[in-house]
């Protein structure tokens, strides 16, 4: 496959610094991945899909798109691991990775809002703040998880943020791969916020829409108690590291 070249418009004097690529991690998203990829391709950007050890027909479905880069894990390693695989490959041709979940909750066209925000900052982490999360059709676990996560991100010395669990983001490359994030699964997306903030990386939110499918159609690998315990372990480790940090380390105080 020939290398992709982004046709994203660049501001004068920033040639070679505004190249964007899309990274989509997928695990058993056979029913939704095709539509997400088809919509993401309309951005006219390089697109990397990471099949994280799917056991359904996800791989066969994404192979129907010859214009995308497909990366595969032989077994399920977790969302964080899939993102890191995507970052490594995307960094060869791009300066920014736009991450989009494969479950259909994001509208890829909203990436333009995130791109606009990224261009206003130098190597920031841009987070899509999902609007409509308070609607009755959104399951209570999603709302609770967001508020729980927001609080503990802040308590761990991370940024004050409205939607710490949004997977619709833009990461700077190759910097994001050097933030020493330990988590390999869903916890990656909260830990990375804290570690980026510790390194004085701007964390910026921009509004994006959200589309929660009916329960019968929704594909979610979120397990409330299991993921609650994993998040608790991650936050405990971050707080210990923050308060035991040696003098001179780039772990900031929690300012309000």
What domains are defined for the chain?
A: 20-243 (3.90.550.10)
Mean pLDDT of 146-175: 92
- State the DSSP H helix or E strand holding residue 6, giving kind and residue range, or none if neither: none
Give me the sheet containing 169-172, strands edge to edge.
Answer: 69-73, 47-52, 20-26, 96-99, 169-172, 125-130, 203-208
Mean pLDDT of 146-170: 91
User: For residues 155 and 54, what is the distance between their CA atoms, to the nearest angstrom?
Assistant: 35
Q: Which residues of 148-174 are buried (b: 16+ CB within 10 A; e: fewer)?
A: bbbebbbebbbbebebbbbbbbbbbbe
Mean pLDDT of 79-107: 97
Q: Answer whether residue 12 shows pLDDT above 60.
A: no
Q: Are 95 and 115 in contact (CB under 8 A)?
A: no
Q: Answer whether residue 155 shows pLDDT above 80.
A: yes
The pLDDT confidence band at residue 11, using thresholds 50, 70 and 90, is very low
The pLDDT confidence band at residue 97, using thresholds 50, 70 and 90, is very high
In whole numbers, what is the pLDDT of the chain averaged over residues? 83
Least confident of 53-57, 100-104, 155-159, 217-221: 217-221
Q: What backbone phi and psi angles, to 5 degrees, belong to 96?
A: -140, 140
User: Which pLDDT score, from 0 to 100, does residue 147 have?
Assistant: 79
The pLDDT confidence band at residue 55, using thresholds 50, 70 and 90, is very high
User: Which pLDDT score, from 0 to 100, does residue 137 have?
Assistant: 57
Q: Answer whether residue 47 shows pLDDT above 80.
A: yes
User: Which pLDDT score, from 0 to 100, does residue 129 have?
Assistant: 94
């Amino acid at each position: 496959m020939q290398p992709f070249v982004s046709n994203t418009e660049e501001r004068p004097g920033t040639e070679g610094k505004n190249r964007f690529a899309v990274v989509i991690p997928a695990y058993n998203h056979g029913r939704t991945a095709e539509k997400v990829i088809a919509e993401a391709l309309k951005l006219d950007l390089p697109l990397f899909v990471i099949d994280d050890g799917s056991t359904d027909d996800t791989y066969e479905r994404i192979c129907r798109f010859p214009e995308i880069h497909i990366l595969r894990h032989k077994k399920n390693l977790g969302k964080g691991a899939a993102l890191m695989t995507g970052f490594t490959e995307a960094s060869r041709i791009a300066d920014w990775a736009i991450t989009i979940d494969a479950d259909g909750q994001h509208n890829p066209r909203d990436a333009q809002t995130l791109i606009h925000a990224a261009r206003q900052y130098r190597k920031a982490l841009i987070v899509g703040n999902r609007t409509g999360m308070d609607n009755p059709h959104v399951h209570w676990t999603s709302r609770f998880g967001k508020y729980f996560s927001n609080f503990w991100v802040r308590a761990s010395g991370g940024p004050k943020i409205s939607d710490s669990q949004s997977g619709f983001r833009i990461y700077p490359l190759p910097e994001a791969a050097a933030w020493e994030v330990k988590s390999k699964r869903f916890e990656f997306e909260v830990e990375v916020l804290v570690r980026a903030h510790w390194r004085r990386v701007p964390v910026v939110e921009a509004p994006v829409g959200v589309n929660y499918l009916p329960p019968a159609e929704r594909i979610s690998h979120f397990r409330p108690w299991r993921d609650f315990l994993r998040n608790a372990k991650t936050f405990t480790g971050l707080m210990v590291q923050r308060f035991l940090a040696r003098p001179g380390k780039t772990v900031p105080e929690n300012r309000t």
